Structure 1
Amino acid sequence: MPILVMKFGGTSVATLDRIKRVAKRIGVEVSKSYDVIVIVSAMSGETNKLVGFVNDTSPLFDAREYDAVVSSGENVTAGLMALTLQEMDVPARSWQGWQVPVKTTSAHAAARIEDIPPENILQKFDEGMRVAVIAGFQGIGPDGRITTLGRGGSDTTAVAFAAAFGAERCDIYTDVDGVYTTDPRICEKARKLDRIAFEEMLELASLGAKVLQTRSVELAMRYKVKLRVLSSFEEQSDKAGTLVCDEEDIMESNVVAGVAYSRDEAKMTLVSVADRPGIAAAIFTPLSEAGVNVDMIVQNISEEGRTDMTFSCPTDQVARAEKAMKDAKERGDINFHDIVADTAVAKISVVGIGMRSHTGVAAKMFEVLSAEGINIKVITTSEIKISVLIDRKYMELAVQALHDAFELENAA
């Protein structure tokens, strides 16, 4: 039988009633002659509660024991889902990551999936099992210890299973009914897209859109897994949700597919850095080693052998970045007069594969922001994306103005 992968997030399985509703939806797919692999998250709020228990018990915790604790939420959901399906006379059983096994690296709390041998589950399908309920977010490391994949890891689990089993499709059920042109909470004109290309979804996910986890989109793009984003709270049809697919599967692409934003950005500037060969490496190597996620980078024109270097990073990494730079200065690796942090900025991005064949998108974006009196602090571009840093107080205005300017309310 063809295999379908269905993933349900924490809000979809938050209560026993919601688990029953999800089980009925799974039963519908079984009735269509699919063998179904279901990936479940922990019930809403459970992972945060378990993380709190770990932090309260041991602030400097052993990451291996952290994984053992926080992965247990998914085990509970998987068992309850399997029991519910069995009560509906659907042959089902639960699987923890180590039972599959989902083989991962040893990076606890941030492991990456290396292999998912399909033999164990396929054997059970051959014996009459119709639904394999998999605890998402978890696997087993080379040392035999439980590992977790980091926040949003159940999305990655689902796509990895779809790739490993050659699934017809991977349906991601969330609390939203698809991928929108921008956040509907900010722009009431936002429209749900019927289809979006992998590259566009990857950019939107990395730029702040929280519909899909970035690693899951990377994996889907690499293995050509068709993803569908759906709501678990609405009636479904064959055309429901948003299909994330190859660019070739989209008849006509809009120039701009969506507007993304990231509220928690900071702009940091090293003032008067010595402009010499290797200075960029001397700055960004210690930032990388300190775990600072640098995004935009701008180097000003050099005057008298000195320059300013500006970069952006998440606001919660500012203190880490400042320490890394001051330590590098004390070691004599770099020399600068001051480090200035602006934590009141936001990143606004327009994304679209249509930019490859259309000019004038950047000019239009800058004109729109100028007309609204919004000053651009930093600009960065790629083949299908333009991002700017602006004052955070103008974030919602910028999103709405750009959404209007590119006529995204007409997107489909």
Structure 2
Amino acid sequence: MAIVVQKFGGSSVANAERIKRVARRVVETQQAGNQVVVIVSAMGDSTDDLIDLAKEITDKPKAREMDMLLATGEQVSIALLAMAIDKLGYPVLSLTGPQVGILTEHVHGKAKILDVNPERLQQELDNGNIIIVAGFQGATEDGEITTLGRGGSDTTAVAIAAALKADVCEIFTDVDGVYTADPRIVPKAHKLQRITYDEMLELASLGAQVLHPRSVELGKEYGVPIHVRSSFNHNPGTLVQEAVDSMEKELMVSGVAYDLNVAKIGLFDVPDKPGVAKMLFKALAEKRINVDMIIQSAMRNDRNDIAFTVVKDDLDTAVAVVEAVKEAIGAGGLSYDANLAKVSIVGAGMVSRPGVAAMMFETMAEEGINIEMIATSEIKVSCVVRADDAKRAVQAIHKSFELEGDAPVNSEGFAS
């Protein structure tokens, strides 16, 4: 008997009718001979509503109390879905993250999962129950409730699938799968049948919102097949898996992503001596600020410039940190800019095909789009551009790599 883990996002359980539809789909999966664990997010925009409610009380709510508040959203969803499945006549049990043994680090707001104890889950499955689990939440060793940050329910689902050694983790969303670009921006974008963990991880971290990056990391680490599907139909979606030879032969660029949640900070006239970069980035790390692109200019007069990007949500905190470091090291100046976007291409075929980056840069030049920063890896090229240019850049790049058109996606899952 296969173990299937299914995750349904907020839009899939946004109201009573949608919850009933999810219940029927879950029951169908069990009727097919599977043991089923379901992870659900909070209903619709209820998390945002809770955040707004907290802001009506105080401008600076404590992180612990915010976790206590936000964790209630998923508890509503799991209880209602369990009621809907029970009404259909099937044994079901709803459980919170802490109740199923999701152990996290002691960080409020964006904790990482440290371990999942599958004992209770396996016991309840063996008893014939369908298990409904609250996503997005866990608890520390001393019982403090924590949340996993935006998209944390994806991470919950893959972590539970890994702990149970599930046959597949199905992520149900309001789209049919992973596309070569955002279909809202590029109407002729194609759905991919398959994509590698590495490519999906890059796309997720570069702005594609179908999967949370941490969930893909866990999928790769534990070999969990992830199937991204629509909760509104039964069509096959996109399978995220390890690379196979035939996949690698097919693709040069598998997708174009963009991210508007980008801010750039520049520190000027920085003394060129050992330990300066360490001081700067250690200070940012201590505030749990993730730094993305980093550029250091050529030295002049024993000084240089350092520029880097962070997410906009961290900009104010990051600027305060950099200002303190600037004073401590005697740097000359500080600037920042939040009117930016990051546009990226991803594809395993870049490793063996020269000229991919040049083709991207040529396309941007032809469109009159200025590139402010560049970062590369074996399977990606990212450029920071003005926010107003992002959508036009995505459309032009998608076309230049021949990812659009009426040709169907080939058998390996990539545009022909």
TM-score range, shorter chain: over 0.9
Alpha-carbon distance between aligned partners in 2 of 1:147 and 1:44, rounded to the nearest angstrom: 21
> How does the TM-score come out when normalised to structure 1?
0.94
Structure 1 residues 300-325: Cα deviation after superposition (integer angstroms, max 9, x where no partner): 11112121222122234333232222
Distance 1:108 1:291, change over 3 A: closer
Alpha-carbon distance between aligned partners in 2 of 1:378 and 1:359, rounded to the nearest angstrom: 20
Structure 1 residues 111-167: Cα deviation after superposition (integer angstroms, max 9, x where no partner): 2222222222222222232x1111111122211232221221110110011111111
**Correspondence for 2:285:** 288
Question: Out of 228, 239, 242, which is 1:243 matched to?
Answer: 239
**Correspondence for 2:347:** 352
CA contact (8 A) 1:95 1:135 kept: yes
Matched, 1:325 2:319: no
**Correspondence for 2:299:** 302
Two-structure CA RMSD over aligned residues (Å): 1.7
Equivalence map 1:172-187=2 (5 Å): 172-187=171-186
* More off after superposition, 32-41 vs 56-65: 56-65
CA contact (8 A) 1:106 1:143 kept: no
Cα drift, residue 45 of structure 1: 1.3
Alpha-carbon distance between aligned partners in 2 of 1:274 and 1:183, rounded to the nearest angstrom: 43
SS at match of 1:71: helix
Distance 1:31 1:221, change over 3 A: same
* Amino acid corresponding to residue 161 of structure 2 in structure 1: A
Cα drift, residue 109 of structure 1: 2.2
Equivalence map 1:71-110=2 (5 Å): 71-110=71-110
CA contact (8 A) 1:350 1:387 kept: yes
Equivalence map 1:336-351=2 (5 Å): 336-351=331-346
* Amino acid corresponding to residue 262 of structure 2 in structure 1: E
Distance 1:200 1:88, change over 3 A: same
Cα drift, residue 58 of structure 1: 4.2
**Correspondence for 1:145:** 144
CA contact (8 A) 1:315 1:343 kept: yes
Identity %: 48
Alpha-carbon distance between aligned partners in 1 of 2:310 and 2:143, rounded to the nearest angstrom: 35
SS at match of 1:322: helix
Cα drift, residue 177 of structure 1: 0.9
Alpha-carbon distance between aligned partners in 2 of 1:270 and 1:406, rounded to the nearest angstrom: 36
Alpha-carbon distance between aligned partners in 2 of 1:163 and 1:249, rounded to the nearest angstrom: 25
Alpha-carbon distance between aligned partners in 2 of 1:97 and 1:341, rounded to the nearest angstrom: 39
* Amino acid corresponding to residue 242 of structure 1 in structure 2: T
Cα drift, residue 20 of structure 1: 0.7
Structure 1 residues 144-197: Cα deviation after superposition (integer angstroms, max 9, x where no partner): 232221221110110011111111100001111111111111112211111110
Which stretches of structure 1, 4 residues or more, deviate above 4 A after TM superposition? none
Alpha-carbon distance between aligned partners in 1 of 2:265 and 2:276, rounded to the nearest angstrom: 16
Cα drift, residue 283 of structure 1: 2.5
* Amino acid corresponding to residue 188 of structure 2 in structure 1: K
**Correspondence for 1:406:** 401
Alpha-carbon distance between aligned partners in 2 of 1:357 and 1:380, rounded to the nearest angstrom: 18
Matched, 1:389 2:384: yes
> How does the TM-score come out when normalised to structure 2?
0.93
CA contact (8 A) 1:11 1:174 kept: yes
Question: Out of 276, 279, 292, which is 1:279 matched to?
Answer: 276
CA contact (8 A) 1:195 1:250 kept: no
* Amino acid corresponding to residue 147 of structure 2 in structure 1: T
Question: Out of 313, 320, 342, which is 2:310 matched to?
Answer: 313
* More off after superposition, 242-251 vs 209-218: 242-251
Distance 1:169 1:338, change over 3 A: same
CA contact (8 A) 1:201 1:217 kept: yes
* Amino acid corresponding to residue 190 of structure 2 in structure 1: R
Structure 1 residues 208-243: Cα deviation after superposition (integer angstroms, max 9, x where no partner): 111111111111010010001111112x14xx1111
Alpha-carbon distance between aligned partners in 2 of 1:341 and 1:120, rounded to the nearest angstrom: 49
Cα drift, residue 3 of structure 1: 0.7
CA contact (8 A) 1:253 1:353 kept: no
Distance 1:373 1:80, change over 3 A: same
CA contact (8 A) 1:36 1:132 kept: yes
**Correspondence for 1:45:** 45
SS at match of 1:133: strand
**Structure 1: gaps (5+ residues):** none
Alpha-carbon distance between aligned partners in 1 of 2:18 and 2:60, rounded to the nearest angstrom: 36
Matched, 1:227 2:223: no
Alpha-carbon distance between aligned partners in 1 of 2:187 and 2:100, rounded to the nearest angstrom: 44
Q: How many residues align?
A: 406
Alpha-carbon distance between aligned partners in 2 of 1:218 and 1:33, rounded to the nearest angstrom: 29
**Correspondence for 1:136:** 135
Alpha-carbon distance between aligned partners in 2 of 1:4 and 1:232, rounded to the nearest angstrom: 15
**Correspondence for 1:253:** 250
* Amino acid corresponding to residue 300 of structure 2 in structure 1: E
Alpha-carbon distance between aligned partners in 2 of 1:211 and 1:397, rounded to the nearest angstrom: 21
Cα drift, residue 249 of structure 1: 7.4
Alpha-carbon distance between aligned partners in 1 of 2:205 and 2:285, rounded to the nearest angstrom: 18
Cα drift, residue 104 of structure 1: 2.1
Alpha-carbon distance between aligned partners in 2 of 1:178 and 1:204, rounded to the nearest angstrom: 13
Distance 1:191 1:169, change over 3 A: same
CA contact (8 A) 1:3 1:35 kept: yes
Cα drift, residue 201 of structure 1: 0.5
* Amino acid corresponding to residue 31 of structure 1 in structure 2: Q
Cα drift, residue 349 of structure 1: 0.7
